[in-house]
Amino acid sequence: MPEKILILDFGSQYTQLIARRVRELNVYCEIYPFNNAPALTEDVKGVILSGSPCSVRDPEYPTLDLSQYLGKLPVLGVCYGAQLMAHEHGGEVTPSTIREYGRARLNEVHSQDRLFKELTIGSVVWMSHGDTIKEIPANFEVIASTESVRVAAYKLKGQETYGIQFHPEVTHSEEGKILLRNFVVHICDCQQDWTAEQFVEGTVAALQEQLGNDKVVLGLSGGVDSSVAAMLIHHAIGKNLYCIFVDNGLLRKDEFETVLDSYKHMGLNVKGVDAKDKFYSALAGLTDPELKRKAIGRVFIEVFDEEAHKIENVKWLAQGTIYPDVIESMSVNGPSATIKSHHNVGGLPDFMKLKVVEPLKTLFKDEVRLVGRTLKIEDTILGRHPFPGPGLAIRILGDITPQKVHVLQQVDHIFISNLKKSGLYDDVWQAGAILTPVQSVGVMGDERTYENVVALRAVTSIDGMTADWCRLPYEFLADVSNEIINKVKGVNRVVYDISSKPPATIEWE
């Protein structure tokens, strides 16, 4: 069991960021809803109480029994977490009378306090709160202030309990990372030994223990998560891992063949299943995006189940579930709101009765990539843009036919290979092309044409939740557009999508 920091979530939009910052310090941490925290065990070295959109002045403010942590191990309350501890000890939290949002400077700091080791006086911090701590309880002392916020940080006398009203986890807090390091390393005494190498070593050993000689089946998608999950399990149990890679006829041009080849090179026991026709028949005539998604999900399960049944005595289903899926499936609003399916291959059909193994379920996406690199997975797989499960079906507006898929594959291929050739691929979070049902008039040589419009989409993003359109160079777009119109029969006009998310989404359907 690695030592860890427990992060108790009161619903702040920044809670995951706190976890990521702690992990960047090579310290393992876990997030739990404040009302569903596990009992303290020896491996827990400290607790962080997150921020919250709530106020301690609400009659039903979220709280917990602080006595189980305070004085027993180091605690850091961030924003609401700090206000909560002050409130519960008899301090006074009132609505802010001045604006406590945006950048501020820590101009009075107890520099000798371990929380502020190596922080500069005047350091910029990010404030974002509607309430403020007006009076602290008697056994608290103020250890940092800004010009307008007297209680920017406090400490409980005689114990390692701290509260800060700013957000060290956001990058606007210039030295926030140093403060978090001070807490987890100097105050909680964490060893910073949680690395990708250590994760691989520990997980492979744990998988060997858990799976023994059992057979495991896993659906590969060509994406980062399923590939890394497969390699980890492969390291643990070798040929007892049976991978299935389904060609749904909605993948990118040549993707099925090239990715299948890469998997074989990696030594995986993988079976490619050509199920194109099944998917095309299920999709025939469907135009509604959700119906298309459902049809694809259903056929995938049918095909996967049929293949899995061919593996005699298989006991486990492996999935590439990652930590954000797990966090989303736990809610701070109580157990009633906690159940959400997070299976990324469309859900496990009940009748398969397989046990589920999810070796990546404690990792963030960037950590999955680091683990993949440690496992020496090719960059072409690790650096790949996200690609939706329903594939090109949700980039062909309207009904799906193999001919339309063929047209879009060619367009997409020209766009993506030019991004790679120009060195722009890695600057883009996700890119692709959309085949619209709109036809427009054009002229080619002496002939009038009446063909489809395609749209190109390229976005920057961190996690797909919000996104902005990429400012790709005009010359690049001009070359791609020319090549598409010259080479792809059936397309005579190319447009570029300049919508951000929100209010648009990344995919058109």
Contacts (CB under 6 A) with ligand XMP, residues 451-490: 464
Closest CB to ligand XMP among 378 and 507?
Answer: 507
Phi-psi sector, 102: left (phi>0), alpha (psi -120 to 50), beta: left
Establish whether 481 is an annotated binding residue: no
Which of 11, 389, 398, 490 forms a contact with ligand XMP (CB under 6 A)? 389
User: Is residue 79 flagged as an active site residue?
Assistant: yes
Return the residue matching tokens 């189980």. Answer: 68
Q: C-beta of 504: minimal distance to ligand XMP in Å?
A: 8
How far apart (Å, rounded) are the C-alpha atoms in residues 137 and 151?
Answer: 12
Establish whether 440 is an annotated binding residue: no
Instruction: Please provide residue 502's backbone torsions phi and psi, each rounded to the nearest 5 degrees.
Output: -70, 170
Closest CB to ligand XMP among 87 and 457?
Answer: 457
Establish whether 224 is an annotated binding residue: yes
Closest CB to ligand XMP among 289 and 490?
Answer: 289
Tell me if 497 contacts ligand XMP by CB under 6 A: no
Identify which range of 1-9, 80-88, 242-250, 381-389 contacts ligand XMP by CB under 6 A.
381-389
Please count the CA atoms within 13 angstroms of the CA of 233 that sit on its side-chain side: 35
Q: C-beta of 291: minimal distance to ligand XMP in Å?
A: 12
Strands (E), 325-446: 355-357, 430-444
Closest CB to ligand XMP among 177 and 501?
Answer: 501
Residue 433: strand, helix, or coil: strand
- The first and second tokens of residue 293, run together, are 């998604």
Establish whether 52 is an annotated binding residue: no
How far apart (Å, rounded) are the C-alpha atoms in residues 9 and 328?
Answer: 12
Tell me if 223 contacts ligand XMP by CB under 6 A: no
Tell me if 507 contacts ligand XMP by CB under 6 A: yes
User: Is residue 167 flagged as an active site residue?
Assistant: yes
- Annotated catalytic residue: which of 129, 167, 385, 413? 167
How far apart (Å, rounded) are the C-alpha atoms in residues 204 and 58?
Answer: 47
Contacts (CB under 6 A) with ligand XMP, residues 415-434: 430
Closest CB to ligand XMP among 163 and 390?
Answer: 390
User: Is residue 172 flagged as an active site residue?
Assistant: no
Return the residue matching tokens 């956001």. Answer: 170
- 3-class secondary structure for 270-292? EEEEECHHHHHHHHCCCCCHHHH
Q: C-beta of 481: minimal distance to ligand XMP in Å?
A: 23
Burial of 61 (0-12, 13-18, 19+ CB in 10 A): middle
Closest CB to ligand XMP among 134 and 294?
Answer: 294
Q: How many residues bind ligand XMP (CB under 6 A)?
A: 11
Q: C-beta of 169: minimal distance to ligand XMP in Å?
A: 23
Tell me if 107 sits within 8 A of 145, measured CB to CB: yes
Tell me if 411 sits within 8 A of 454, measured CB to CB: yes
Tell me if 501 contacts ligand XMP by CB under 6 A: yes
- The first and second tokens of residue 186, run together, are 């100097």
Tell me if 341 contacts ligand XMP by CB under 6 A: no
Give the per-residue contact string, 7-26, with ligand XMP (x = CB under 6 A; - = no): --------------------
Cis peptide before 503 (omega within 30 of 0): yes
Residue 114: strand, helix, or coil: helix
Establish whether 223 is an annotated binding residue: yes
Establish whether 225 is an annotated binding residue: yes
Establish whether 9 is an annotated binding residue: no
Closest CB to ligand XMP among 21 and 385?
Answer: 385
- The first and second tokens of residue 255, run together, are 């993707």
How far apart (Å, rounded) are the C-alpha atoms in residues 251 and 387?
Answer: 9
Tell me if 424 sits within 8 A of 448, measured CB to CB: no
Tell me if 505 contacts ligand XMP by CB under 6 A: yes
Q: Where are the alpha helices (DSSP H) in 105-223?
A: 176-181, 196-211
Contacts (CB under 6 A) with ligand XMP, residues 279-308: 293
- Annotated catalytic residue: which of 29, 79, 188, 470? 79
Q: Which residues are annotated as a binding site for ATP?
A: 221-227
Residues that bind ligand XMP (CB under 6 A): 293, 386, 388-390, 430, 464, 501, 505-507
Q: Which residues are annotated as a binding site?
A: 221-227
Catalytic residues, by residue number, are 79, 167, 169
